[in-house]
Amino acid sequence: MSRQCSHWENDSQENMPASGLIVPVVLWGKEPPTHCISCVYLSKDQRTLITGAYDGQICLWQADPESLKMTPRLLLVGHSAPILCLSRASHSAENNFIISSSECG
């Protein structure tokens, strides 16, 4: 079963993976790469949008709920099949863990 877990902070620090989790990160220029979305998760504070794609990529976006402007922050790779599900993985308000599942499991 192929699953990944990501963690982000909603304070002034950079979006960083949780300690102990190795996440390959891809950087891009002014425009993000093509990202054919297969599923979406919006954080409770509506400031982080996470999208899963048909190519197995996951993208974290900084969202401005007032202007609806979206800024790409991280592109995570690791799944080899379409992302089918993104869900909150913790009931605690302090932990912002997300779990993803792909077509492979």
pLDDT tens digits for 81-92?
Answer: 999 999 998 887
For position 84, what pLDDT does the model report? Answer: 94
Burial 1-23 (b: 16+ CB within 10 A, else e): eeebebbbeeeeeebeeeeeeeb
Say how many domains are in the chain.
1
Domain that includes residue 29, residue range: 3-102
- Counted residue by residue, the chain has a size of 105
The pLDDT tens digits of the residues spanning 30-65 come to: 766 677 899 999 988 889 999 999 989 999 999 998
Q: How far apart are CA 92 and CA 52, in angstroms?
A: 23
Q: What share of the chain is helix, strand, coil (3-state, %, to 5)?
A: 0, 40, 60
The residue written with tokens 């993104």 in the block is: 86
